[in-house]
Amino acid sequence: MDEKSYILEADSLYHVYESKAEEGNVVALRGLSVKVEQGEAVAVIGPSGSGKSTLLKSLGGLMTPTAGRVFLDGSDMTKLEGADLVEHRRSTVSFIFQEGNLLPDLSGLDNVMQPLRHAGIPAPEAKRQAVAVLERLGMTSRMKALPEQLSGGEQQRIAIARALITKPKLILADEPTGSLDPFTSQSVLDLFRELHKEEDVAFLIVTHSHDVADFSDRSLELRDGRFVAQHGEGIEVNDLIQNRELILDDIGTVSFPPDILLKLGGPGRYAVELIEPGRITLVSQAAKATAAAGNHRIYVANCPACDHEYGSTQEKQCPDCGSSRPKR
């Protein structure tokens, strides 16, 4: 079996936003690990505040994670600095943001030419390549317009052209259809599919939209800075469980990853049976009660990973996040 080739690998990513507010620091990423193969499309789904944008910026080298490592096309991004980081990022990855992030004082054509100009490509050649990409996207008739003169869909197509001009191996997209109407959104996804299938471009897209996730080969669900479920082809269970650490804050609060919580038996009351430096043993009171009652166990009422309420059904898997339903 051939060894897999990865364009992107992240190992045990943590990111903490320091704050002097009463609530204290905010832990946005909690030990995430993920791999993206050459030419693979991966979606990261999650609600606002789940850590999606922080993850994308950390993976693309736009911010340095508090802990963990990111490898982009084999190079450790967390060890690159200055011009070396910029050059490696420019030659490997492109970004697409929800609002396009076009330079307001430049025409669509000039926006698309910018990455090549920064790379030292002469203006005539940069223009030739930019026009070719814009023609492919059906934007040559609008390429001399300023961003404020373009519709949301047109701005996004200019942003996509700018992302493609460097012929990246990986595109990182942050809610790329979030501000678009359904028709324009579908046309952008169709373009992504074409790039993915015909040119073997890898994608990692963070989104709250399941329509966007359907475009991908597999999707990861992100909640509170952790992956809680995974769907699609080539699922790697280790993406959910490897290299986990528990963070114990100054007031004694510890947050368990969903997979560990499932193995414990879900939320509930736990007794401390043994405590010594660096080690603590917890025993579920529900487990004790179950054993005393003759080992008669029933399914939990709520999903430990996402709090989905099962009600009186006998479902064995959560329909919202895909986690197995434990018994107590």
- Spell out the domains of the chain, with CATH numbers in brackets: 6-241 (3.40.50.300), 256-328 (no CATH)
Residues 6+ apart with CB under 8 A from 219: 42, 43, 44, 45, 213, 230, 231, 232
- Do 85 and 95 contact (CB within 8 A), yes or no? no
SS3 for 82?
helix
Q: And the tokens for 219?
A: 């999707």
| pTM of the model as a whole | 0.67
What's the confidence (pLDDT) of residue 294?
46
Residue labelled with tokens 């660096």: 278
Question: Which pLDDT does position 106 carry in this prediction?
Answer: 94
Pairwise CA distance, residues 321 & 222, whole Å: 10
Q: What is the pLDDT along the chain (328 residues), one digit of tens a residue?
A: 346 789 999 988 899 888 777 667 888 888 888 899 998 999 998 888 888 889 999 998 888 888 889 999 888 888 888 888 888 888 889 888 877 689 999 999 999 999 898 888 999 999 999 999 898 888 899 999 999 999 888 888 899 889 889 888 899 998 887 777 777 778 778 888 888 888 888 999 988 877 777 778 888 888 888 887 777 665 554 555 544 555 565 566 666 665 666 677 766 777 888 888 878 888 877 655 544 444 456 777 888 777 888 876 777 777 877 777 777 6
Q: Pairing state of beta strands 6-17 and 26-37? A: antiparallel
Q: Specify burial of residue 317 (Cβ count, 10 A radius: 0-12, 13-18, 19+).
A: exposed
* Burial tier of 159 (Cβ tally within 10 Å: 0-12, 13-18, 19+): buried
